[in-house]
Structure 1
Amino acid sequence: MLLGLLLTFHVLVCIALIAVVLLQRSEGGALGMGGGPTGFMTARGASDLLTRTTWILGTLFFVLSLALTLLASRGSEASSVVDRMKVESIDLNKLNQPPTPTAPAEPAPGTDAAPLTAPTPQVRDPFAGAGETQPSNP
């Protein structure tokens, strides 16, 4: 429950961080158009607000990322893959023996016992004529 709530909040912080970064003015003039110098908010004031907001959202992003990582790892057991494989129950003498040969499977009664073969592919020579085909040589 807490993990799902934090994950939802984390996604919202990510979206807000993307929006704030895109609104900032870059060297070439990006999406963020600051107000005029006589307006309510000057260009410098807008950039200070966006910079401060970016720092706050960036900090929230990293804190939430760490919290989600710690909460997700707390639920799992701290064990290695080797511990979960039950290596002690493997008999080493059986591992080094060659495999025992098995008899080929008997065909079901009433079916053909002949092996299946593929038909010989025919290759059409475009220079020989329209209807002539030749068997291919592998």
Structure 2
Amino acid sequence: MLIGILLAINIVVCLGLIGVVLLQRSEGGALGMGGGNTGFMTARGAGDLLTRITWILFSIFLVISLVLTILTGRMGGESAVDRLDIDSLDTKTLNAPITPVAPVGQTPGTAQPGAIQAPTPSINQPLTSQTAPAQPSAPAPVAGQTPAQ
């Protein structure tokens, strides 16, 4: 319950921090962007206010993140890495190529009617188009005419 509330507050603070950082004027003038004195405060006063808000939101974000890390560390006891079963991995098959498995009762070269099967190029075959050029066909007869013989 407490972790959920702290996490929600942390997300809101993070979004506020993003917004405040994006409101700040670029000091380097990157991409030709820079603000003029068109704000409700002077440039220096607005900069000081936004800098203070940024530091306050950053401090709150950092403290809540540390508290969440400590609380979740005490609850679970194990980390995600500790739950991995690394000892049972077979190191010989880690880099082996994946071979496609055909459905039961079907050989890899055949397909069911209506099923779409992707072409499977062999390893030694270059990836070029090997389709025959289209042959021109005889024109279709126009309605009312008999085909010439």
Q: Residues 72-111 of structure 1: matches in 2 within 5 Å?
A: 72-78=72-78, 81=82
TM-score between the two structures when normalised by the length of structure 2: 0.48
Higher relative contact order, chain-length normalized (CA < 8 Å, sep 6+) = 2
Measured in 1, the distance between the counterparts of 2:10 and 2:108 equals 61
SS for the counterpart of 1:26 is coil
1:42 CA displacement: 2.2
SS at match of 1:34: coil
Q: For 1:12 and 1:55, locate their aligned partners in 2 and report how far apart those are by CA, in whole Å.
A: 15
Q: Please tell me whether Structure 1 or Structure 2 has the larger radius of gyration of its CA atoms.
A: 1
The two structures have a TM-score, normalised by structure 1, of 0.51
Structure 1 unmatched runs, 5+? 36-40, 88-114, 131-138
Q: Which amino acid aligns with 1:73?
A: G
Contact 1:25 1:33 in 2 (8 A): no
Q: CA deviation at 1:72?
A: 1.1
TM-superposed deviation, 1:57 = 0.5
C-alpha distance after superposition, 1:69-125 (max 9, x if no partner): 11111111258848x97x9xxxxxxxxxxxxxxxxxxxxxxxxxxx97957xxx975
Aligned length: 93
Question: Once superposed, what is the RMSD of the aligned Cα atoms?
Answer: 3.7
Quickly say closer, same or farther: Cα 1:33–1:14, change in 2 above 3 A. Answer: farther
Specify the alignment match of 1:34 in structure 2.
39
- Percent identity over the alignment is 49
Q: Which has a greater percent of strand?
A: 1
Residues 1:42 and 1:3: Cα distance change in structure 2 (over 3 Å): same
Structure with greater helix share of residues:
1
